[in-house]
């Protein structure tokens, strides 16, 4: 679990623990849709690139926002991110692609199999991707995952492939050599041979089981939960943390994104209400996850797009954000008076213009 930095001390509210854990090989970033997972996974990969020899960030979200975050086109093959010499990115679709298979016969059979066992297509695609990643020697791999439901399915892939193998074995036992005879009769060759297909699934299962063992090792793998300070996001994070515990996957970092800080000198009832609501959920996060490293990120007036913007925003991952203005200080009251005077002058100028316009009419 997270290092609290001493007895009774609160865990460090940053992601420095991830950068300092040199044994880390797999970092998953996940959470509810629309909370900023891609921005967070992009920044984590940038920070890791400054501490590790080589980093690969992979998007398994069909929406593929990684290209938008870095403002660079990525494909299903690792591509060097512009401005770096050790950071690579790739985007994969969590479904079986047609060119993954030897011929139409094999594809057709596997299509039938995927229909019979929900999720086996994603499992096989994930296995293919892991095979590719394992042939490359990256120091650490960051996964920008799809929304929570898809991520939980990804963790169930070994069990899904197990079902696929059981179904294959049942078909083999039921029909004996009938399938082999049919393939030879129609001249389809050995690609659709039952043993070849069984071997294919077995190979994928071996890869996934090997990686799954690594996923359950807290020295090698961790899961970073990204959320926003609202009820549904809190609920989704709680569900995710419980599921991760069930799958024995380590999680000790939570990033709370889009936090409003009370630093605007202008008084706003709406802003005050939102800040109060957010604070209620932030307090609940701290109560539920008192042994987690909880990092709060500010809501910005603009999007975080492009390498420069990502690097600028990354400082909030390493140093807790502090509001620029503190309520009740001389400086804050002076700024508020100055803004009110400025607003009064603008209102008086507008009133003069309206009066002059009315006189002309």
Q: Using one digit for the tens of pLDDT, what is the confidence trace for 278-324? A: 999 999 999 999 999 999 999 998 999 999 999 999 999 999 988 77
Evaluate if residue 14 carries a pLDDT over 90.
yes
Give the C-alpha separation, 154 to 160, whole Å: 9
How much is the pLDDT for 180?
A: 59
- Choice between 171 and 103, residue whose per-residue pLDDT is larger: 171
Q: Using one digit for the tens of pLDDT, what is the confidence trace for 97-133? A: 444 444 444 445 445 555 555 555 555 566 666 666 7
- Choice between 112 and 338, residue whose per-residue pLDDT is larger: 338
Evaluate if residue 25 carries a pLDDT over 70.
yes
Evaluate if residue 211 carries a pLDDT over 50.
yes
Give this prediction's pTM: 0.77
Lowest mean pLDDT among 40-54, 128-142, 169-183, 256-270: 169-183
Query: Structure tokens of 96?
Result: 């079986």
How much is the pLDDT for 266?
A: 64
Q: Tell me the torsion sign for CA atoms 53, 59, 295, 154.
A: negative
Give the C-alpha separation, 243 to 215, whole Å: 14
Mean pLDDT of 319-344: 81
How much is the pLDDT for 103?
A: 44
230 has binding-site annotation? yes
341 has binding-site annotation? no
143 CB neighbour count, 10 Å cutoff: 22
Q: For 269, how many CA atoms within 13 A lie in the half-sphere containing its CB? A: 0
Q: Using one digit for the tens of pLDDT, what is the confidence trace for 238-275? A: 999 998 898 888 999 999 999 998 776 667 888 889 99
Evaluate if residue 188 carries a pLDDT over 50.
no
Annotated catalytic residue, options 3, 7, 61, 217: 61
35 has binding-site annotation? yes
Is 190 catalytic? The answer is: no
Give the residue from 136, 144, 54 showing the smallest Cα distance to 94. 144
236 has binding-site annotation? no
39 has binding-site annotation? yes
36 has binding-site annotation? yes
């Amino acid at each position: 679990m997270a290092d609290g930095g001493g007895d009774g001390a609160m865990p460090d509210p940053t992601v420095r623990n991830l950068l300092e854990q040199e044994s880390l090989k797999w970092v998953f970033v996940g959470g509810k849709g629309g909370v900023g997972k891609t921005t967070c996974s992009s920044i984590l990969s940038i920070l890791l690139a400054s501490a590790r020899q080589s980093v690969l960030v992979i998007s398994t979200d069909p929406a593929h926002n990684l290209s938008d975050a870095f403002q660079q086109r990525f494909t299903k093959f690792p591509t060097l991110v512009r401005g770096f010499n050790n950071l690579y990115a790739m985007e994969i679709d969590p479904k079986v692609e047609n060119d993954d298979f030897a011929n139409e016969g094999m594809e057709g059979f596997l299509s039938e199999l995927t229909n019979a066992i929900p999720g086996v297509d994603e499992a096989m695609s994930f296995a293919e991707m892991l095979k590719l990643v394992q042939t490359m020697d990256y120091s650490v791999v960051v996964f920008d995952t799809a929304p929570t439901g898809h991520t939980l399915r990804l963790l169930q892939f070994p069990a899904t492939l197990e079902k696929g193998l059981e179904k294959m074995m049942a078909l083999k036992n039921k029909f004996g050599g009938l399938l082999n005879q049919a393939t030879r009769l129609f001249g389809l060759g050995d690609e659709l041979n039952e043993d070849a297909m069984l071997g294919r699934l077995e190979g994928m299962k071996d890869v996934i089981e090997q990686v799954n063992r690594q996923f359950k090792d807290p020295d090698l793998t961790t899961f970073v939960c990204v959320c926003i300070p609202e009820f549904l996001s809190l609920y989704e994070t709680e569900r995710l943390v419980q599921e991760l515990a069930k799958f024995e996957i380590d999680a000790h970092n939570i990033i709370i994104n889009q936090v409003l800080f009370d630093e605007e000198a202008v008084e706003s009832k709406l802003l005050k209400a939102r800040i109060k609501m957010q604070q209620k959920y932030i307090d609940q996060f701290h109560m539920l996850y008192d042994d987690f490293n909880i990092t709060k990120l500010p809501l910005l007036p603009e999007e975080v797009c492009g390498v420069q913007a990502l690097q600028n925003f990354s400082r909030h991952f390493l140093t807790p954000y502090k509001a620029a203005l503190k309520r009740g200080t001389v400086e804050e009251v002076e700024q508020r008076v100055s803004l009110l005077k400025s607003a009064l002058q603008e209102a008086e100028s507008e009133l003069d213009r309206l009066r002059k316009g009315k006189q002309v009419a």
